[in-house]
Structure 1
Amino acid sequence: MTIKFDLHTHHERCGHAIGTIEDYIRQAIQLNLDYIGISDHTPHFYSEEDHLYPGIAMQKSEFNSYVEEVLQLKEKYASKIHVLLGIESDFFIDHMTHYQRQFELYPFDYIIGSVHFVHDINIFQRGRFDLLTESERVQVKENYYEQIALSAKSGLFQILGHIDAMKGYYPPFSDLETEAVDKTLKIIGEQQVAIEINTSGKTKDVRGWYPADDILERALFYSVPVTFGSDAHTPERIADDFDLVRKRLREIGYKEWTYFINRKAVHVSL
């Protein structure tokens, strides 16, 4: 029997997603999911401002109510689906103590660590590579993977989010040659942090999942655990391509994938 889950979802608090938490849970029930993870973007805890970047993440004053709402809905829908309390956290190497203090206060089932900024520029910013030389582009890619490696070693995260998402609006990113990807995958495998197969890449210029198949093949070599997340910003994208991802992982050679309860990995057969 296949356990069906989606661990990466957002909702209206972040300012760039549509729908309430309950909308996502109801959609997951309609799709017969066993587990639905709610994982909206963390506030910018390091800032003195309550809402440093409206439209990117929730405000700090909303964080407690976010957790409370998820826990209430977890109880409300307990007979129909397992609701998991998650969060997607930016990885800012200089600010992670602020985040750690907050994470320790709440009963998260898992925390997704995502690198969204390299050289203080959003990884999804169109045109960020246009004026760079080939060597400068490689340097950006290497810095990106250095941050991902550090996030894996931080001990804060159970899952690493969309680990080649810089290709989203710059598909040639995948062809930039560097050993940084393998070095990072080796570290992730040693730390036994899961990477997600994130299907939201299909909504970007690259038109494909994160990460690419070749990275998944190398991740298997380094014994990196894998999980699934649609990164849904609308309820309709819940579990998007779940069955296709499951099939592809089996073709690559994976035997199992993982979800999390109380920050503990649960490995289930593909």
Structure 2
Amino acid sequence: MKFDLHTHHVRCGHANGTIRDYIEAGISAGLQVIGISDHTPYFGREEEQAFPKIAMAKSELVHYVEEVLSLKKEYAGKIDVLLGIESDFFPEFAEVYRKTLNKYPFDYIIGSVHSTGGVSIFNKNRWKNHDEKARIKVKETYYDLIRQSAKSGMFQILGHIDAMKGNYPDFSKIPAEKAIDDTLQTIAEERIAIEINTSGKTKLSGGWYPSDEILERAHYFGVYVTFGSDAHKPERVGDEWEEVRSKLKEIGFESWVYFKQKEMQVVPL
């Protein structure tokens, strides 16, 4: 079974195409299952749309859900359309996100850390004037947030767990093995999945999130894995699915998963 659980669309302000465009692209790519998972609104401030080029407006959330559910019915028998969403994880606002998202019938929620210390993980300038000790601290803080997100009970999937390397490839060289292992062990204990996200090719790092080395450690700890292209344009739906499948088998994985009505569905590789 071929699936892709991480796709965006025009509502978030930094993706191209409608939800229908992504579903049609999924059919063309031979998917049996496609998850629509645009960014949640930002609930940490009072404004209707605090960050127009990052996340949808608060009032759009209900329309997003209604549109996905309508298209799910329309495409039944052609492709299984899942209602997902990608949520930031901010410990200080976690309960607001939890209560808001619990109002809707999501098949799954992807939890992603996109910032630490109030700075985007993709901001290249954040590394200026950092010595090794400071870089290690940033990396450890990043993985601590991911561990907290795993323990929150809010998510079925954790998104792109080493994406901080996206615009700073040397992130992978920063020594923080214990932080990574502790994080993977926590994820395994919580019985949630990490995605292999093929959008790294759109950043300076290239490649996938996470690295093969982290995937090998994930296999060691018994972490569940899933697939997400993180497509921000329809032509990337299902991108490198076969290559990811082959790599997972090479590492030793025998299956991967997706979620429907928040129940894990196990798919043999």
Between the aligned partners of 2:62 and 2:30, the Cα distance in structure 1 is: 29
Structure 2 match to 1:20: 18
Amino acid at match of 2:76: A
Aligned partner of 2:201 in structure 1 is: 202
* Cα shift at 1:193: 1.1
Aligned length: 268
Instruction: Give the superposition deviation at 1:148.
Output: 0.1
Cα drift, residue 102 of structure 1:
1.4
The 4+ residue runs of structure 1 with deviation greater than 3 A are none
Q: Which residue of 2 aligns with 1:74?
A: 72
- Structure 2 residue corresponding to 1:154, chosen from 140, 148, 152: 152
2:210 counterpart of 1:243: no
| Mapped pair 1:41 → 2:46 | no
User: Shift of the alpha carbon at 1:46?
Assistant: 2.8
Verify: 1:108 aligned to 2:106, yes or no: yes
Q: CA deviation at 1:130?
A: 2.1
CA distance in 2, matches of 1:32, 1:180: 38
Measured against aligned partners, the alpha-carbon deviations of 1:156-187 in whole angstroms (never above 9, x if no partner) come to 00000000000001111111111100111110
Q: Secondary structure at the match of 1:127?
A: helix
CA distance in 2, matches of 1:31, 1:78: 17
Q: Give the structure 1 partner of residue 124 of structure 2.
A: 126
Normalised to the residue count of structure 2, the TM-score between the two structures is 0.99
Name the aligned partner's letter for residue 268 of structure 1: V
Which string of whole-angstrom CA distances, capped at 9 and with x for unpartnered residues, describes residues 4-25 of structure 1?
0000000000000000000000
- Choose the corresponding residue for 1:10, options 4, 8, 11: 8
Q: Which residue is 2:184 aligned to?
A: 185
Q: Per-residue CA shift, 1:60-115, capped at 9, x if unaligned?
A: 01000000000000000012000000000000000011111112111100000000
Question: Hey, what does 2:166 align to over in structure 1?
Answer: 168
In the other structure, the counterpart of 1:231 is 230
Residue 219 (structure 1) aligns with: 218
Give the TM-score of the pair, scaled to structure 1. Answer: 0.98
Aligned match for 1:136, one of 134, 137, 142: 134
Q: Distance in 1 between matches of 2:101 and 2:262?
A: 11
CA offsets, 1:123-158, max 9 Å, x none?
001221121111100000000000000000000000
CA distance in 1, matches of 2:50, 2:125: 24
The DSSP-based 3-state class of the residue aligned with 1:56 is coil
Partner secondary structure for residue 95 of structure 1: helix
1:123 alignment partner AA: I
Structure-2 residue corresponding to 1:90: 88
The one-letter amino acid paired with 2:106 is: F
Residue 128 of structure 1 aligns to a residue whose secondary structure is helix
Q: Deviations over 1:168-224 (max 9, x none)?
A: 011111111111001111101110110000000011111110000000000011110
CA RMSD of aligned residues (A): 0.6
Name the residue aligned to 1:255.
254
1:176 alignment partner AA: I
Seq. identity, %: 58
Comparing 80-89 with 39-48, greater Cα deviation is found at 39-48
